[in-house]
Amino acid sequence: MLQRTRPFSSRLDVEQIPVVPKRLHSNSEPMRLPILPPAAIGIVGGGQLGMMIVREAQRMGYRSVVWDPDPQCPASRLADQTISASFSDVAAAERLAAASDVVTYEFENVDPSAIEHIERSKSVLPGSSILRIAQHRREEKEELRRRGFPTVAYHVATGKDEVEKAVREIGFPAVIKTATSGYDGKGQLVVHDEKSLDQLSRHDTASGEFVVEQFIDLHCEVSVVAARRSDGTIITFPVGENLHRENILHRTTVPASVPLEVQQEAIRIARGVMEEFSVIGVLCTEMFVTREGKVLVNELAPRPHNSGHYTLDACDISQFEAVVRAVCGLPIASPRLLSPCAMVNLLGKHLERLDVPTALKMRGIKLHLYGKKESRPKRKMGHITILGYSAEEVERGVRIVETMIGEEDSMRPTSESVTAAQVNVG
């Protein structure tokens, strides 16, 4: 069984990680001149990720244009221009392209054809190719396996009969996932035995494509946010250790408590993903760590990630600044972790209990609220970052915050394992 450690090293990702050799620059990735302020960055999606990209872009002197169906989306409060239209609106895509010098996107549930339409006239980074792969669980796993990255054992199935056959071949328990439209744990079902398999008729497995995964006993989940420039330069942020509640990311802790060699392997894999998929921009690789210490790739998110929000307060460069630098062709220094930290998500149900004045009396607390107009119990409305001089100080702060928002039972003994059913998309 893995032993948990929490060494604090602000330079873990640079000085202690073997460098993955870079491939020669290919003709499919033409060198790009730097795009300098006051150029305009177009962003597909205006949620909290888009808002935080806009904020960093503004600080660096860039203008921003956001495309989102909601005219009151969080990013609209900061952007220089908001295009309010459906993501299937070709005219809106053309308007974004015309108003922007370079384009990126803040989430992957957008029609790749819209991105391809913009690509006809402007660079879209990371681009439509990795977007299509990340949107489809089968394609994602097949591409990862084909390129030599480790994943959980899985089968692809279409319809109820094939799903049942795949589950029996994989063995109980198993995780059934829809091939598309998976986010925050949506489109997933765990079957533990024949009885629960017989109840599949209650779920929408009559048609469509599914990925049936082996259910594994996990030590924990980790993630690594990385950025890559068009010249092949790659930087990685420190490994984050993630805990989910109700299939939604609840907490990310940095440094991760897994052994150094596990962190090194996670960063090696994350760098390899950036290389193999020729990503320009920011991408998060989400990974499982087994009880034996093996690191398996779970999913890819070609954008800033919820588990990387801690970088806003605990690193000398945030994942959002890294987006701006990468897509504009600017140099990116290797980020340094300035202090141990933890990020706790604030859902709608938490805001009803959060005592803001009391929380802000605590040392090392950074409150981020996204300004969303509608609050729902499981909707991400903000997050809190807890900073400290030591991991123990951070953990004490986390306990206070979680008690305040009614999540005190999420603090579990470090020896307790996490199952694949509890570890899902960030």
Closest CA to 68 of 85, 90, 50, 49: 85
Quick one: pLDDT at residue 423?
A: 32
What would the pLDDT profile of 150-198 be if each residue is shown by its tens digit? 999 999 998 888 888 888 888 888 888 888 876 655 677 888 888 777 7
Buried/exposed 185-208: b ≥16 CB within 10 Å, e otherwise = bebbbbbeeeeebeebeeeebeee
Parts of the chain belonging to CATH 3.30.470.20: 12-17+217-419
Q: Which two tokens stand for residue 419?
A: 């199952």
What pLDDT, on a 0 to 100 scale, did the predictor assign at position 7?
A: 53
- Span 40-122 CATH architecture: 3-Layer(aba) Sandwich (3.40)
Per-residue pLDDT of 52-110, as tens digits, reads 999 999 999 999 999 999 999 999 999 999 999 999 999 999 999 999 999 999 998 88
- Rama region for 181: left / alpha / beta (φ>0; ψ in -120 to 50; rest): left
Is CATH 3.30.470.20 correct for 12-17+217-419? yes
User: Alpha-carbon distance 249 to 268, whole Å?
Assistant: 23
Q: pLDDT of 203-252, one tens digit each?
A: 665 568 899 998 888 999 999 999 999 999 999 999 999 999 988 999 99
- Quote the pTM value: 0.89
The segment(s) of the chain belonging to CATH 3.30.1490.20 are 153-214
Residue 20: predicted pLDDT: 41
Per residue in 21-59, pLDDT (tens digit) is 343 333 344 545 799 999 999 999 999 999 999 999 999
DSSP 417: -
CATH class given for the domain over 153-214:
alpha beta
Residues of the chain with CATH 3.40.50.20: 40-122
Question: 49-58 pLDDT, tens per residue?
Answer: 999 999 999 9
